[in-house]
Amino acid sequence: MPKTIPENSVGIVAPQCLHFDDPLLLRSGKTINSYDLMIETYGTLNEAKSNAVLICHALSGDHHAAGFHSEDESKPGWWDNCIGPGKPIDTNKFFVVCLNNLGGCAGSTGPTSINPETGTYYGPDFPVVTVRDWVNSQVRLMDRLGIAQWAAVIGGSLGGMQVMRWSISYPERLRNAIMIAVAPKLSAQNIAFNEVARQSITADPFFHNGRYLEHGTYPKKGVMLARMVGHITYLSDSAMRDKFGKAAEALANEPIAGNFGRDLRTGKLSFGLNVDFQVESYLHYQGERFSEHFDANTYLLMTKALDYFDPTVDYEGKLSAAFAKSSCRFLLMSFSSDWRFPPERSREIVDALLEAGKQVSYLEIEADQGHDAFLLPVPRYLEAFSTYLNRVSDEVNA
């Protein structure tokens, strides 16, 4: 927690837990009879209830998108760069709703919840949930909040996939679909990385076929490895050179001098299997921190939801046909150095929308930070994001 809360922060926020009793039929054919959704909201719903926006989180996100839970919290919510007073998703103008998706591990019903049928943790028995299932649960949340139409549904990465599903399945229930750093479906390379992550979790001796909670253990090493490989795909080569090339910068007094981000941790090689380079130590740290709060079974579920996402399944593989009934306006933004979901993947969606005759805007933002850029304060990105949403606000708050 910073000593004083910045003026453009939503400040101290409190999550709420909403309980749902109407059974949710999942795409897999299974049903969840009742469930909780953890949510956070920022800003005020206007009288016409027309200024609500839904934020969809990505792989490791949750309902805590902005502000601080307490004065002791060291870091704000995961999208604090974009949500707050005067920020692109301006809480002075919009009523912002974020939730932890089903299957998550931040309070919504998921593998760490107790299965009422067995009296023990769901663990590996928690049904595989898909993007479509999440959106169906988000519709119920929307109804509970008494919102007829979102001013915008917004998300990056896996969050953007939920936005896409909204525009296809519930066209009349959103005015704007904003997808950032997204892809119409995963490539073989994307799935390959996910499988490495899953294998590292399931191969951990403490995994116990997903029943680690009953065994009083946790596959920490596996989750760390999964996060490390994931993290590499979120950064770009140039971002890593920059981040771990500070020593060269100090020596040569030039940005990104020629050491390719090979900063040493202690100044000399160990000639052993110790951590020699800064990048190694950074990945260990990231993995370690992640494994402390993220559930292994949830990680497995989230990667499956990514792998399974394909909005064309009901439309003979034709993306433009999937958008036929969409009536919202679309904004897509991609980042030049994103190699996980590179700009050409966003353009596939843009082209499908053009073919379907939809209203679409698209920006390709020059940025070094790779896939992670969607979470970071990239000036052109924030500026365009604000400009678009100010226009939306003018329409819905008129």
Q: Which residues are catalytic?
A: 157, 338, 371
Residue 107, both tokens = 């309070």
To another protein, the closest distance from the beta carbon of 6 in angstroms equals 25
To another protein, the closest distance from the beta carbon of 165 in angstroms equals 22
The nearer residue to another protein, 207 or 381, going by C-beta atoms, is 381
Q: Binding residue for another protein (CB under 8 A) from 249, 364, 376, 382?
A: 364
- Pairing assessment for the beta strands 16-20 and 52-56 based on DSSP bridges: unpaired
To another protein, the closest distance from the beta carbon of 390 in angstroms equals 7
To another protein, the closest distance from the beta carbon of 177 in angstroms equals 13
Q: Binding residue for another protein (CB under 8 A) from 296, 360, 378, 396?
A: 360
To another protein, the closest distance from the beta carbon of 262 in angstroms equals 34
The nearer residue to another protein, 144 or 325, going by C-beta atoms, is 325
* 329 makes contact with another protein (CB under 8 A): yes
* 319 makes contact with another protein (CB under 8 A): no
Q: Binding residue for another protein (CB under 8 A) from 362, 369, 370, 393?
A: 362
- List the x/- string, 338-357, binding to another protein by CB under 8 A: ---------x--xx--xx-x
Q: Which of 151, 24, 139, 100 is nearest to 301 (CA)?
A: 100
The nearer residue to another protein, 317 or 357, going by C-beta atoms, is 357
The nearer residue to another protein, 99 or 389, going by C-beta atoms, is 389
Q: Which of 74, 290, 60 is nearest to 194 (CA)?
A: 60
Contacts (CB under 8 A) with another protein, residues 365-384 = 380, 383-384
The nearer residue to another protein, 222 or 343, going by C-beta atoms, is 343
* 140 makes contact with another protein (CB under 8 A): no
How many other CB atoms sit within 10 Å of the CB of residue 120?
A: 12
The nearer residue to another protein, 30 or 347, going by C-beta atoms, is 347
Query: Could you list the residues that contact another protein (CB under 8 A)?
Result: 329, 331, 347, 350-351, 354-355, 357, 359-364, 380, 383-384, 387-388, 390-391, 395
